[in-house]
């Protein structure tokens, strides 16, 4: 009986998500190439007018640089800094809210090569 109740509960959650139009997959947009890395955005509808918006970075191979991505924003929502480097070539950040739709504002960020001088290498905007 216990397994039957759990199965019914799971089926109920599944049906609720389907009727609210929730999407389990992220829709990724094409990569955009930058000098030392590439970047792309993605979106997922959670239902009830809530969205997740993603920004993904990938360090080009071969590359020995360590790059800090900071001051990451989407529509005024701040996201914590990330670092891409050999050994951790990928970084994905996420913003979840109910004020944006699939049509949202631009992502913005600053990318710096991490050296003793922390020289600025690029500033990005992407839709």
Q: What is the DSSP string of 38-63?
A: EEEEEEEEEETTEEEEEEEEEE-SS-
Tokens linked to 99:
């004020």
Domain ranges of the chain: 24-126
Mean pLDDT across 23-29: 89
Enter the pTM of the model. 0.72
**Residues 6+ away with beta carbon under 8 Å from 11:** none
Q: How far apart are CA 99 and CA 101, in angstroms?
A: 7
User: Which whole number is the average pLDDT over 54-65?
Assistant: 93
Better-predicted residue by pLDDT, 8 or 52: 52
Per-residue pLDDT reduced to its tens digit, 81-100: 999 999 999 999 999 876 66
The string of pLDDT tens digits covering residues 27-59 is 999 999 999 999 999 999 888 888 899 999 999
pLDDT at 75 exceeding the cut of 90: no
Q: Selecting from 1.10.3470, 2.60.40, 3.40.50, 3.30.450, what CATH number does the domain 24-126 have? A: 2.60.40
């Amino acid at each position: 009986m216990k397994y039957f109740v759990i199965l019914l509960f799971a089926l109920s959650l599944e049906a609720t998500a389907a009727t609210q139009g929730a999407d389990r997959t992220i829709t990724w947009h094409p990569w955009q190439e930058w000098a030392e890395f590439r970047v792309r955005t993605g979106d997922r509808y959670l239902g009830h007018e809530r969205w997740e918006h993603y920004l993904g970075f990938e360090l080009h191979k071969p590359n020995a640089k360590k790059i800090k991505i900071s001051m990451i924003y989407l529509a005024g929502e701040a996201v914590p800094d990330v670092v891409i480097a050999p050994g951790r070539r990928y970084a994905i950040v996420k913003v979840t809210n109910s004020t944006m739709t699939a049509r949202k504002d631009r992502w913005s960020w600053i990318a710096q090569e991490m050296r003793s001088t922390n020289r600025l290498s690029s500033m990005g905007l992407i839709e």
